[in-house]
A and B are shown apart, each in its own frame.
Chain A
């Protein structure tokens, strides 16, 4: 489903991945295809446990094997297939051309190493710098992510920082080598609302300055609406819909996406209760037969209980995995 006219920066094609143990095998990613263009912000949206973070980790090849096992597909980054790359080559890419910010700023920094050491780490790994150059670069980075008194804080430890400041440090580390792609895995979920806004604003500014692409993983549609240009919706290990942000908010096609948007609070209609999607996310080990969403779907048809709909392009740049749409197409 290559949507980009030009060659995308990252293109994941039909990626399948499962977690294998001696007792069981659970398909975690099922035929994931997505593309991120240069200078683009793409959001990957879905509930907890739908495979968003695993997608991010699988792009970086950071999943442990066992249990993770790639079952097929390709991950092309700037034309190279990351699934075929050597460990050494992957290490050259990680933190350098693709970098990542994680959900939990409280635990994502090493508690026994100084902030300065940790920010300098990727810099010295991927660049040949003298001590003074590194020091200067670290201070610049900390100033860039708006850490006050950067020079005095190099010797401090993560425990002396608040959650929002730690996330700024994570961002400083992630952008230190001017990556082409930044994967932000729920960067604001663990932070309170005002700090969330600051962090998103910071990411936006940095993006404008450096022209990197961002893959934003989140379950917060509010964040997505104002931040990303394109949205990919995931449900139970599959991509169910993908469209530009404007298009998706205007005409959501998949019943799950519609349900998600309906459950957002609306400013002009505060009286009614928020709508919810009935039921729970199925566990990936016990997926229903047929469409993964059918037990919770209000438009369920007999065919949905028998087979899983394919993902098809409904109109230019808008794909959906639902029999309602393929019926309409036919």
Chain B
């Protein structure tokens, strides 16, 4: 097990470098010029000087070399516009993104898993159909629209939560949670729709297995049959899905962050792309990609604990 983890981490290194190269080329291929954006309507005379100072006049391969070399020393570079290092500006945003992803995930699991189980217990019943109807709605509703509905109902209507903005944990846990509640709920509802669907089909499959009949034939109560015998097996595909969703949330909650005016990593990347702030975009994407790789690794390790059939690093 331990050697397996080490092996997996070692494999991460080449993957990571390859990713870096890919990201670098893609970002630098986008048409657009940060210098032009910086100067605006000012004369183009200074452009060459600035370009030289920023190192942008060097050939692309050389710039890649410099970036990778800096990267290996742990230096992500300086932002063109923010007046800060890339690492610093990403690190500032991580608490927001991480807590949004965490609470969003929490909501989606709390809503999605019970709904999926409930639907699977009586397939094609009214209950099942209504839950699947809710799920279809959740999958189809645009993120911004659900967010607006929640703001309209719970913020403007009932005045329970702020309509946007972020209050850091250092200013009190209560206002922190309040500021994150609506955006997390909005993310949670959408992903709970997927989780409910997945949970339902996984449970339906497990509930038809022979060992479920065995458990019933022992005289076990239906509750234990479902919660112990079926759920332990049915949850396995959900763990993978939760890992994937969490990784996605770490990188992809732009719309929700924008709508609720949360200073997360997603909105940082979007605004940096608009300004062609290459170092920030490169650093940010690399950060997202690494978090996906890491979450996947964590899920694989977690699997070995939930499913005894999986034994890593041992030849059977």
Beta-carbon contacts of B285-316 to A below 8 Å, as 1s and 0s? Answer: 00000000000000000000011110000000
B214 adjacent to A170 (CB under 8 Å): yes
A157 with B219: CB separation less than 8 A: no
> Of all chain B residues, which has the CB nearest A114?
B308
Q: Which residues of A contact B211 (CB under 8 A)?
A: 107-111
Chain A residues in 8 Å Cβ range of B216: 62, 94
Docked Cα-Cα span, A110 to B308, in Å, equals 11
Which residues from B are CB-within-8-Å of A96?
Answer: 219
Interface residues of B toward A: which range?
20 to 34
Within 8 Å CB of A110, what residues of B? 211, 214-215, 229, 232-233
The docked-state distance in angstroms from the alpha carbon of A109 to that of B212 is 8
What is the CB-to-nearest-CB distance from B195 to chain A, in angstroms, rounded to a whole number? 20
Kindly list chain A residues whose C-beta atoms are within 8 Å of the C-beta of B306.
112
Contact B217 A99 (CB under 8 A): yes
Q: A111-B308, A157-B308, A159-B308 are in contact. Are A102 and B210 (CB under 8 A)?
A: yes
**Closest A residue, CB atoms, query B231:** A112
Most buried by A among B210, B217, B229: B217
> Are B219 and A104 in contact (CB-based, < 8 A)?
no
* A115-159, CB < 8 A from B: 121-122, 125-126, 157, 159
The reply to whether A113 and B229 form a contact with Cβ atoms under 8 Å apart is yes
> Is the beta-carbon distance between B219 and A92 smaller than 8 angstroms?
yes
By the criterion CB–CB under 8 Å, are B219 and A91 in contact?
yes
Most buried by B among A113, A157, A170: A113
A95 within 8 Å of B (CB atoms) = yes
Inter-chain contact B220/A125, CB cutoff 8 Å = yes
> Known contacts A113-B232, A159-B308; is A108 also within 8 Å of B219 by CB?
no
Assembled-state Cα–Cα distance A57/B210 (Å): 12
- Chain A proximity of B235: nearest CB distance (Å): 10
Cβ proximity bits B192-234 to A, threshold 8 Å, 1 near / 0 not: 0000000000000000011101111111110000001100110
Is A60 at the interface (CB under 8 A from chain B)? yes
Do the beta carbons of B309 and A95 come within 8 Å of each other? no
Task: Assess the B214–A125 pair: CB atoms within 8 A.
Answer: no
Cβ 8 A contact of A93, one of B209, B214, B219: B219
**B214 / chain A contacts, CB cutoff of 8 Å:** 102, 108-110, 170, 173
Minimum CB distance partner of A125 in chain B = B219
Q: In the complex, A104 Cα to B210 Cα: how many Å?
A: 8
How far, in angstroms, from A216 to B233 measured CA to CA in the complex?
A: 31
Q: Nearest residue in A to B214 (C-beta to C-beta)?
A: A108
A124 to chain B, nearest CB (A): 10
| B209 surroundings in chain A (CB, below 8 A) | 107
Q: Which chain B residues lie closer than 8 Å to A95 at the CB level?
A: 217-220
Chain A 52-76 residues near chain B, CB threshold 8 A: 57, 60, 62
CB <8 Å contact, A107 and B233? no
What separation, in Å, do the CA atoms of A93 and B218 have in the docked complex? 9
Min CB–CB distance A117 → chain B (angstroms): 9
A107 CB contacts on chain B under 8 angstroms = 209-211
Tell me whether A100 is interfacial, beta carbon within 8 Å: yes
Q: Are A112 and B233 in contact (CB under 8 A)?
A: yes
Q: List 7 A-B contacts (CB under 8 A).
A: A95-B219, A102-B210, A102-B213, A107-B210, A110-B214, A112-B233, A112-B306
